[in-house]
Structure 1
Amino acid sequence: MKRFLILIFFGLVLQTSHAQEEKSVDIKPDFHLRTFWMSSTYPSDFKDDYALGTSLNLGTKISFQKNWNFQIGYRVFANVLSSDIWSPDPLSGQSNRYETGLFDLLNPGDSFFGKLEILNLGYNSDKWGVKVGRFGINTPWINPQDGRLSPTGIEGVQGWFAPNENWRIEAWWINRMSVRGTSRWLGVGESIGVFPVGRDVFGKASKYSGNTNSDFVGLYQVDYSRDKLGKMSLSQTYVQNISNTLDLSWNKDWSMKGSKAKWISGAQIGFQHGIGDGGNSLDSLAYKSPEDRNWYLSTRFGWRNSKWLTHMNFTRVGGDGRWLSPREWGKDPFFTFIPRERNEGFESVTAATWFASYTMQDFPLEIYGVIGIHQIPSTSDAQANKYNFSSYRQINFGLKYRPKGLPRTNFHLLVMNKEALDSEGLTPNQRYNKVELWHVNFIFDIYLN
């Protein structure tokens, strides 16, 4: 695909050399520098870890022939400073879960590497467009996630159609994935299992990594917006030979009489079922059971004005079998999602969160906090609890600073703590990487595009 795109690009550039003045070529740089400090601290019986990583994307966007554009970007990664993050914890025997994700999980120990992250050719008119190659994506179950040195990327085709200001229809066909924390582009099946695989339904270590067969993802999303109704989105994520997931969401802000403040509300429902052989005809190697039938409901209600934003959220997951979506592909779309943890891999979840933030008016600083309670099945039920995770309480506290004179620069400090709701009898494997954990992130970004 790379050679095909490059040949098309140079052919079109040659054509533009004879174009009229209104069809001139416009070249813009695409630059992103990210520096990321991460540290995890546990009780004295586990090892602590830290890492300082940096990544630099150098690219360009070339617009020509009025509606055409070509993008290319290469990102390099470096381990500037770190503890011995690739060695397992001596007590639990488990590998580091957080800091290693800044670097190349497929080649542990590499201190410097890179990958061609963006390479695409696109056409956009007022009402429709199409893009082919490598680019980013943001949908309920495949999204940037933004928790490491680079975002999730896809390779394939995207098309969109917007007949008027109320409707937008998008569709994707994906055949390869760029997983954060890796240096290679992987096939759809290959990308599942890069992150820790947990345990199978019998309580043994899962074996689907490297054994999952899936050729493509087909995805569509329909958005409809009106002031009185709010915004509604319907999406379907079809993972060939593994699963089909349907999501419907609604979000609306409500004006308050005599005030600039607004009430905010939202609701999400979803259904997922297994298809094909779940990734492999052998049950011991399959990623998902074809017999799984799962659903979720998530709600939000809150309030905001020019300084404050606060909301309460609730999620319930149920059904038969595990709700599964590859962690390599993005974060949960649930309203109760809190950064640095997901509620995926469980047969049932009951979660409630409260979020509040305050943005200063005379100084570009946002202060926020979130607390969540997450009830999940017992660790003794392997079929219903893939990652051997106990029910937990999570608290996040953060600061976001965006200098007024540098609008494309931002700083983000995140401090997270997770504790088990019932710590009695937990094994080292059920504690390390999961609870009794303080986790600190400091992220610095510079953009030029």
Structure 2
Amino acid sequence: MKIYSYIVIFLVISLKLSAQNSHQQFESIDSVKHGSFNPNEAHSFHEWFKKGHVSGLFRSSTITTYRPTSDNFSAALGLGGRIYYHSAYWHGFQMGIGGIYTYNILSTDLSNTTENPYTPKWERQLFDLEDPNNKHDLDRLEELFIKYRYKDSYIKIGKMLLNTPLVNPQDSRMKPSAFQGIWLDWNEGHKFEINGGFFNKVSPRSTTEWIHINESIGLYDHLLNPEKEHETINTSGLAILGGHYLPNDKISVHSWQYYIDKVSLVSFNQLEYTQNAIKLGVQYFIQNSLEENHYLNANHNAQLLSGQFKWSQNKWQVSYNHTINITEDAMKFPSEWGAEPFYTFISRHRIEGLNEVNSQAIKLDLQPFKNWTALNIGFYGVYGSFNNNKEENTLTQISLDIQTHLKNDWKNLKIRLLNSYFITDGFAEGSFLYEDIFHSQLILNYQF
């Protein structure tokens, strides 16, 4: 009865707040937007810098996690910001540099020596996973690149933020993931686009250092549980290739290939069709190992299928989403590099590393106010089952995700309130998801 009581409470709360709007694909309020410039704007080397653009944000993030069964509570408040400078374009060239800083204003004990039986991983991820006791020296150089643009295509070299289905900033903490390498985007056909690149270094989300790609794989497991050894992988880097075809306004086709040298080859493909209020989508993921190592077996073959049926009206959207394994092997892609792209994804929900996944999600998004299109309320429920050592485990997550920004003088202030309740069954005692969890996060961003 306790579980059903919590579900009823969440439903009542969501209905009361529906007089106020968030959906998973609503404009991200967690990232900096950079201005665009006419390639001919600067007419001299001096103007190249003088006509540049400064942008950034100030952010505060508060996370709380409560486990009612064991009466275990953890919380953290982080404050910080990002500042970026992007030059104007001069003869097609642009230069960019940017950094980030964070302060631990207030938190419960986040160290490895905590007496709590559970690692406060979400609170730790606000700061520095490599040093949970570090409260002040949390700055990082995030961007340092040179870019050349020709018409609608460009090439970029250096440190940068990258946004692809599997490799992305996953920017809901204080520090997103950033990557070092080369990126090319060819978009001269407009209906057909190709992009891709090669990366040899990464600064994973919630860390402050730049490390080689081979050191980042499996790093989170070690940082959240130091008893687990961290072995580096013999790889020289990550190559990405994306192809995109939009024949008309109803159909979109995307295909992404991820090659991790000496580790694995991953293909992620997505087809979507939209007709009036109806949207149908299907995603197919396949991964094959290249060599045997402690990360993947020699014959590793993971295949997942994800589908979506979505119905949209002016002030609301509802969708049914389903993701399943069609082979026994689990999807294994470094969580240090980004969030997952499957239709069943919601914040705080991952299927990476889980065998024989059968995950179903219902997502309801509301925009209830006629004169306030910036307010979104999202109510999401995900139920997933999987096998762990041939024993069935289940996870139910219910989330209320509110995103909005204010008006007039405060139009650059954006707010996100995420509330989640986790109901788990079959997890080993002592694991992070062993018992029910209430989790909440409040993010305030002021962009400039």
Q: TM-score, normalised by structure 2?
A: 0.84
The answer on whether the counterparts of 2:110 and 2:132 sit within 8 Å (CA) in structure 1 is no
2:120 equivalent to 1:96:
yes
Q: Which amino acid aligns with 1:101?
A: Q
| RMSD over equivalenced CA pairs, Å | 2.3
Pick one of 301, 304, 321 that aligns with 1:313. 321
Q: Which amino acid aligns with 1:239?
A: I
Hey, what does 1:410 align to over in structure 2? 414
Superposition deviation, residue 66 in structure 1 = 4.3
* Structure 2 portions without partners, runs of 5+: 1-41
Hey, what does 2:260 align to over in structure 1? 239
Pick one of 356, 361, 370 that aligns with 1:361. 370
In 2, distance between residues paired with 1:192 and 1:18?
A: 41
The answer on whether the counterparts of 2:317 and 2:365 sit within 8 Å (CA) in structure 1 is yes
In 1, distance between residues paired with 2:393 and 2:120?
A: 18
Hey, what does 2:298 align to over in structure 1? 290
Could you say if the C-alpha distance between residues 288 and 102 of structure 1 is closer, same or farther in structure 2, counting changes exceeding 3 Å? same
In 2, distance between residues paired with 1:42 and 1:277?
A: 39
In 2, distance between residues paired with 1:410 and 1:18?
A: 36
Higher relative contact order (CA 8 A, sep 6+): 2
The answer on whether the counterparts of 1:121 and 1:132 sit within 8 Å (CA) in structure 2 is yes
2:334 equivalent to 1:333:
no
Q: SS of the counterpart of 1:226? A: coil
The answer on whether the counterparts of 1:173 and 1:217 sit within 8 Å (CA) in structure 2 is yes
2:269 equivalent to 1:265:
no
The answer on whether the counterparts of 2:304 and 2:326 sit within 8 Å (CA) in structure 1 is yes
Q: SS of the counterpart of 2:430? A: helix
Q: How many residues align?
A: 401
Q: Which amino acid aligns with 2:423?
A: E
Aligned identity (percent) is: 21
Pick one of 288, 291, 294 that aligns with 1:276. 291
Q: SS of the counterpart of 1:195? A: helix
Q: SS of the counterpart of 1:76? A: strand
Matches within 5 A, 1:48-447: 48-87=73-112, 90=115, 92=117, 94-112=118-136, 113-196=138-221, 207=229, 209-227=230-248, 229-255=250-276, 262-278=277-293, 286-359=294-367, 360-363=369-372, 364-378=374-388, 380-381=389-390, 390-405=393-408, 406-420=410-424, 422=425, 427-430=428-431, 432-433=432-433, 435-447=435-447
Q: TM-score, normalised by structure 1?
A: 0.84
Q: Which amino acid aligns with 1:428?
A: E
In 1, distance between residues paired with 2:64 and 2:417?
A: 12
Matches within 5 A, 1:3-22: 17=44
The answer on whether the counterparts of 2:183 and 2:198 sit within 8 Å (CA) in structure 1 is yes
Superposition deviation, residue 147 in structure 1 = 2.2
Deviations 1:324-343 (A, max 9, x none): 01111111111001111200
In 2, distance between residues paired with 1:18 and 1:107?
A: 42
Could you say if the C-alpha distance between residues 192 and 270 of structure 1 is closer, same or farther in structure 2, counting changes exceeding 3 Å? same
Deviations 1:115-142 (A, max 9, x none): 1011111011214210000111111211
In 2, distance between residues paired with 1:325 and 1:119?
A: 26
Superposition deviation, residue 227 in structure 1 = 2.2
2:42 equivalent to 1:41:
no
Q: SS of the counterpart of 2:215? A: helix
The answer on whether the counterparts of 2:420 and 2:439 sit within 8 Å (CA) in structure 1 is yes
Q: Which amino acid aligns with 2:279?
A: I
Worse-matched range after superposition: 81-90 or 237-246 = 81-90
In 1, distance between residues paired with 2:211 and 2:433?
A: 26
The answer on whether the counterparts of 1:34 and 1:55 sit within 8 Å (CA) in structure 2 is yes
Could you say if the C-alpha distance between residues 18 and 98 of structure 1 is closer, same or farther in structure 2, counting changes exceeding 3 Å? closer
Could you say if the C-alpha distance between residues 38 and 158 of structure 1 is closer, same or farther in structure 2, counting changes exceeding 3 Å? same
The answer on whether the counterparts of 1:88 and 1:95 sit within 8 Å (CA) in structure 2 is no
Superposition deviation, residue 196 in structure 1 = 2.0
